[in-house]
Amino acid sequence: MSIQVRNVQKQFGDFVALNDVSLDFAEGELTALLGPSGCGKTTLLRIIAGLERADSGQVVLSGQDASATHVRQRNVGFVFQHYALFKHMTVFENVAFGLRVKPRAERPSEAKIQEKVKSLLQLVQLDWLGDRYPSQLSGGQRQRIALARALAVEPRVLLLDEPFGALDAKVRKELRRWLRRLHDELHVTSVFVTHDQEEALEVADQVVLMNKGTVEQFGTPEAVYNHPATPFVFGFLGNVNLFHGRLEVGDSGGLLHTGDSVLPVIGSGHETAGDAVAYVRPHDLDLERYAPGTDGIAVTLRRALTLGPVAQLELEREDNQDVIEVALPLERFRHQGFREGELLAVRPRQLRVFNRGQAVQEQGAST
């Protein structure tokens, strides 16, 4: 089932939780709603589910306006962060629950229920736990049972609100790989809420970046990470260095004058000359020994963290004492033999520039 959200607006009192949100979720895709706490992810999920009503706008399910359709008729399955399985029921009965409470005319026979629950428990790879009670399960097992329970009624849409939020990092990682594999098997249109960038980028087909009740960007993990549409997205997805300066726009591209340096930039073509902020990720910066006349920004290497395959370097600009972070493959760092205290030159391989008004506004919005 495809989901379209059209111009959805939602206020709680004076507070605007969703501001004119429009999104298209394609049939069979797994989409992550990603953003900082309070940006409206859960509210949007609840509106799609029919648990909450939008003040205006529409939710269209499979081409039909579902705004007036009751949650029970929408055929959605839910999994929440603290999903309360029924404590007094076995795992088997928990999964069977949705089938047993169906109206008599739609209820499957007992034999069918037995068969269905067994196959669901196999699907979530916990068929050996059917006789246990929820208190006898680990957190990760409980969430898998919660998922089996949501799938029992064959929902056309699966909505997951921070499904692995309460679990420790290692279990989370296992479960998200497992969710991806499960989704590849079932292809149920699924939307999950997370505030964990890595989780969204690793698991989802599409990522919706939300900020203060609006959509900043909607695209594949590759697109949002490598081509952030806004300063907010740049800053939210991974580390980033900011270079403040003045942009000069010429026929063959832009030049950023920052401190004592002039750097070539790539831009969307919409930037105008004037105050600007350039964004560059730590792994998109090159380093070499400084010599008079070298291109790039003169810096002193303050600290080198050499754990793992990448050296994380903290550098201080000579002209304005700003800190720049650079990530270099450890082998290259060792080969170059850079030492703490040494004078080096930093050169961006790519530098994305936003006009200052936009950058300030969006950074403000992200804090």
Q: Is 252 in the site for ligand ATP (CB under 6 A)?
A: no
Q: Are 236 and 197 in contact (CB under 8 A)?
A: yes
Closest approach of ligand ATP to the CB of residue 35, in Å: 6
DSSP codes joined into one string, 20-58: EEEEEEPTT-EEEEE-STTSSHHHHHHHHHTSS--SEEE
Closest approach of ligand ATP to the CB of residue 103, in Å: 31
Quick one: which of 5, 32, 39, 204 contacts ligand ATP (CB under 6 A)?
A: 39
Q: Is 17 in the site for ligand ATP (CB under 6 A)?
A: yes
Closest approach of ligand ATP to the CB of residue 159, in Å: 12
347: left (phi over 0), alpha (psi -120 to 50) or beta: beta
For the chain, what's the residue count? 367
Q: Are 302 and 308 in contact (CB under 8 A)?
A: no
Per CB under 6 A, contacts with ligand ATP among 57-116 are: none
Nearer to ligand ATP, 37 or 367 (CB): 37
Q: How far, in Å, CA of 5 to CA of 25, rounded?
A: 8
Q: How far, in Å, CA of 170 to CA of 48, rounded?
A: 30
Among 66, 70, 117, residue whose Cα is nearest residue 94: 117
Q: Are 189 and 29 in contact (CB under 8 A)?
A: yes
Q: Which of the ranges 11-19, 169-177, 253-261, 299-307 carries the binding residues for ligand ATP, by CB under 6 A?
A: 11-19
Which backbone phi and psi does 94 adopt, to 5 degrees? -60, -45
Nearer to ligand ATP, 149 or 195 (CB): 195
Q: Is 163 in the site for ligand ATP (CB under 6 A)?
A: no
Q: Is 367 in the site for ligand ATP (CB under 6 A)?
A: no
Nearer to ligand ATP, 51 or 330 (CB): 51
Nearer to ligand ATP, 21 or 151 (CB): 21
Nearer to ligand ATP, 54 or 182 (CB): 54
Nearer to ligand ATP, 41 or 183 (CB): 41
Closest approach of ligand ATP to the CB of residue 18, in Å: 8
- The first and second tokens of residue 162, run together, are 């921070």
Closest approach of ligand ATP to the CB of residue 235, in Å: 17
Strands of 76-80's sheet in order across: 76-80, 157-161, 189-194, 30-34, 206-211, 214-219
Binding residues for ligand ATP, how many (CB under 6 A)? Answer: 12
Q: Which of the ranges 37-45, 170-178, 289-297, 339-347 carries the binding residues for ligand ATP, by CB under 6 A?
A: 37-45
Q: Is 195 in the site for ligand ATP (CB under 6 A)?
A: yes
Quick one: which of 9, 19, 28, 38 contacts ligand ATP (CB under 6 A)?
A: 38
Nearer to ligand ATP, 43 or 141 (CB): 43
Closest approach of ligand ATP to the CB of residue 336, in Å: 42
Nearer to ligand ATP, 29 or 162 (CB): 162
Cα torsion angle, 246, 250, 255, 257, sign: negative
Q: Are 237 and 225 in contact (CB under 8 A)?
A: yes
Q: Are 188 and 158 in contact (CB under 8 A)?
A: yes
Closest approach of ligand ATP to the CB of residue 46, in Å: 8
Residue 45 makes CB contacts below 8 A (sequence gap 6+) with: 33, 159, 161, 191, 193
Q: Is 43 in the site for ligand ATP (CB under 6 A)?
A: yes
Nearer to ligand ATP, 19 or 294 (CB): 19
Q: Which residues bind ligand ATP (CB under 6 A)?
A: 12, 15, 17, 35, 37-43, 195
